[in-house]
Chain A
Amino acid sequence: MKTDLDRLLVDYFQPGVPTADLARRVLKEAAKAGREVEDLVERLAIAATPRGISLIRPGRQARVETAAGRHLVDRAREELHEYLLGQRAFFSVPVDLSAAPDFQAKVLRAAGAIPFGQARPYAWVAKRIGHPRAVRAVGTALGKNPVPLIVPCHRVLKSDGGVGGYIFGTSMKQRLLGLERVTPVLEGCTSTHIICRVGCPQLRRAKPANRVVFASVEDARSVGYRPCRVCRPSQAA
Chain B
Amino acid sequence: MDRERGLMRRVAKGDQAAFTELVEGYGSKLLAVARRLLGTRADAEDAVQRALLQCYQSAASYEPRWAVSTWLYRILTNICVDELRRRTVRHAYVSAPPAEAPSPFDAPGDAGRRIDVARALARVPREARVLLALHYVNGLGNAELARIRGISINTVKSQLARGKTILRAALAEGDHT
Contact = CB atoms under 8 A, between A and B. Distances in A.
Interface of A: 5-6, 8-19, 22-27, 29-30, 33, 115, 117-118, 120, 181-182, 184-186, 188-190, 193, 208-216, 219, 222-224, 237
A198 to B, nearest CB: 10
Interface in B48-64: 48-50, 52-53, 56-58, 61, 63
Interface in B86-111: 86, 88-90, 93, 107-109
Given A9-B117, A185-B85, A212 B74 contact: yes
A74 B30 CA distance: 42
A13 B50 CA distance: 21
Nearest to B158: A223
Given A22-B49, A30-B53, A184-B82, A223 B155 contact: yes
A236 to B, nearest CB: 9
Interface in B132-169: 132-133, 136-137, 149-152, 155, 159, 164, 167-168
Nearest to B28: A15
A118 B89 contact: yes
Contact of A213 (B63, B82, B125, B151): B82
Contacts of B113: 8
B118 to A, nearest CB: 8
12 contacts: A13-B32, A13-B137, A14-B108, A16-B31, A29-B53, A115-B89, A182-B79, A184-B85, A213-B78, A213-B85, A215-B88, A223-B149
A27 B16 contact: yes
Interface of B: 16, 19-20, 23-24, 27-33, 35-36, 41, 44-45, 48-50, 52-53, 56-58, 61, 63, 66, 74, 77-79, 81-82, 84-86, 88-90, 93, 107-109, 113-114, 117-118, 125-127, 132-133, 136-137, 149-152, 155, 159, 164, 167-168, 171
Contacts of A210: 150
B127 to A, nearest CB: 5
B138 to A, nearest CB: 8
Contacts of A29: 49, 53
A57 B63 CA distance: 41
B76 to A, nearest CB: 11
Contacts of B81: 213-215, 219
Contacts of A14: 32, 107-109
A182 B126 CA distance: 19
A227 B36 CA distance: 28
Given A14-B32, A209-B63, 14 more contacts: A10-B136, A13-B36, A15-B28, A16-B41, A18-B45, A23-B20, A25-B49, A181-B86, A208-B58, A211-B78, A213-B79, A214-B81, A214-B85, A237-B89
B61 A208 contact: yes
Contacts of A212: 74, 77-78, 149-150
A215 B82 contact: yes
A15 B33 CA distance: 8
7 pairs of A and B residues whose beta carbons are closest in the complex? A190-B150, A215-B85, A15-B28, A18-B27, A23-B23, A213-B78, A13-B136
A27 B56 contact: yes
Contact of A22 (B27, B66, B125, B164): B27
B130 to A, nearest CB: 9
B56 A30 contact: yes
A150 B52 CA distance: 31
A22 B61 CA distance: 22
A5 B165 CA distance: 10
Nearest to A11: B109
A113 to B, nearest CB: 11
A15 B89 contact: no
